[in-house]
Amino acid sequence: MTNPYAPPRAAVQDVLDPALDVTLAELGTRFGANLLDGLIVGVAVYLPIMVGAMMSGPASDSGAESLLGPEFDGVGAIGVLTALVGFVVWLGFTIKFMVANGQSIGKKVTGIKVVRRDGSPAAVSRLILLRNVVNMVLSLIPLYGIVEVLFIFGPARRCVHDYIADTIVIKA
């Protein structure tokens, strides 16, 4: 016997508008694009810092300190400056591709892009602020990163940052 006072039940799915002619990006493609983006940032930013740190010796006893503090000698400072240049170059290319087509460098290489859920182009501010900055702040919550990524296994193939920014990742 059903309860006449129970709330109505309906199977609700997060589906795309059937009029939209898009194909969602595959999980492996999204993973590959993310991996490639991380590799590019690692080479452009973190590698120069690590090389500079390995090439620099312990702080000198001459009493003179560099502008960056006693732990940096000339080689370490060059590593930091190279990393800064690498970051600016990476950021420039990433913003250029986001403005042009809603893609990071990795997404451009793998042939996927980010759009609004209704299929319209996503603004760069939405991509940077809602998909990245808000997500970085939320990642301070313990276990958030695991939960955030597990959302992609749902039928909509959207991570939490996609829900926050109201975006989907599609084949370009």
Residue ranges covered by each domain of the chain: 27-58+67-171
Specify the residue for token string 């503090």: 69
Over the stretch 32-79, which tens digit does the pLDDT of each residue have? 999 999 999 999 988 888 887 777 655 555 554 555 555 555 667 787
Tell me, what's the pLDDT at 8? 83
Give the integer Cα–Cα distance in Å for 39 and 42.
5
Tell me, what's the pLDDT at 53? 75
Tell me, what's the pLDDT at 15? 59
pLDDT at 14 over 70: no
DSSP string of 14-55, one letter each residue: ----TT----BPPHHHHHHHHHHHHHHHIIIIIHHHHHHHHH
Give the integer Cα–Cα distance in Å for 157 and 14.
10
SS (H, E, C) 53-85: HHHCCCCCCCCCCECCECCCCHHHHHHHHHHHH
pTM of the entire predicted model: 0.74
3-state secondary structure of 151: helix
